[in-house]
Amino acid sequence: MPRNLAPRSLPAPAIRLRSPAQIVAAIPYLVGFHPAESVVAVGLGRDKPAVCLTMRVDLPPPTDAAPLADMCAAHLKHAGAGGLFLLVFTEAPGEPPRLDLVEAIQKASQDRGIEVKDALWVRGDRWRSYHCERPECCPEDGTPVDPGEVSELAAASAWLGDVVHSSREDLERSLRPVELFMRTMLDQTFEWVSEQLIAELSERGRDAIAADSRELLRTAVEARAETSVELSSAGVARLALGLADVLVRDDALRWAGTDLEHAAEALWVELVRKATPPYDAPPATMLAVHAYLRGNGAYARIALERALASDAGYSFAVLLTEGLDRGVPPKVLRSALKITSMAA
């Protein structure tokens, strides 16, 4: 018998990070790639010690340390953080490096009632604490980063289909358009399918076409949950053109946070890479919504940058970017999306 593929909410994986070593090893899973020359703030909820926000920012020049510290602390406060793990990833010299930035973020956070649990620096494959001076705990040459410290998290990520990219650039490359020859064929197919859709629209009306689009998207997501076979060129065109309808796009938000979430994300990635601009902006924005709701601001921002590069005026992408810039917590976005769905 076929399994039930109706969307349903999934409980968040209960992965416990009990030590600084586990926090260091977990960062690539939290931001989606291995950070370099970055500062990462992991905020813990005030009511329970669960991650409520993960922020990654390029290391600023010393003159910008104070403004960045205020921005980070404000976002953490807005997200409801009561605790903070701070990590600096750098190959820069100094023992410890970028102490100015760490002290600025610690002060700005403490001024807002956020307790700094620990501050760590990572150089190469070793880490040390800014707060610890005991050789038996933090040796002078650092403690090796052990990926095995987060074996549960790695297993959960693999099961869900999450990929940890080697760098931010590698993550950006995963969303780049297909090569020129395939691009030309897809653009021709888009033109043909678009002409067919316009003819159908005049005959059957928007509601009928939207109903078809919803059903085609549902079928594609359910199929992607079973197999990784790519879409035909005509399939890419029809789904991307359908997703351009705001009501169809809003209906597709229902897969975020369900057991079809990762299947939907795989579909959005394919549409982002293959859809003729500006029709790649809606699936890129959908991908950003999924990442945003999981607290993965780095991936959300990359997807939004991809959407706005294609269509600078795409209002949903502009709105989500403003939310990221203002530090709007994922739980607030989730509530707002539910209100929007009910209104629709």
pLDDT per residue, tens digit, the chain (344 aa), is: 233 334 444 444 545 566 788 888 888 888 888 899 999 999 888 877 778 888 889 999 999 999 999 999 998 988 889 999 999 999 988 788 999 999 999 999 999 999 999 999 999 889 999 998 777 777 888 888 877 766 555 545 544 555 666 777 877 888 888 998 899 999 999 999 999 999 999 999 999 999 999 999 999 999 998 887 889 999 999 999 999 999 999 999 999 888 898 899 999 999 999 999 999 999 999 999 998 887 777 789 999 999 999 999 999 999 999 998 887 888 888 888 874 544 43
Coil, helix or strand at residue 57: strand
Determine the residue type at 105.
I
Contacts of 144 (CB under 8 A, 6+ apart): 125, 126
pTM: 0.73
Distance of CA 49 to the CA centre of its chain: 21
Domain locations in the chain?
20-165, 175-343
**In the structure encoding, which two tokens stand for residue 68, read together?**
């960045």
What SS3 class is residue 186?
A: helix
Query: CA 52: distance to chain centroid?
Result: 14
User: What is the rounded CA–CA span in Å between residue 223 and residue 303?
Assistant: 23
Q: Please tell me the distance from the alpha carbon of residue 325 to that of residue 323, in angstroms, as a whole number.
A: 5
With respect to CATH, is domain 20-165 assigned 1.20.120?
no
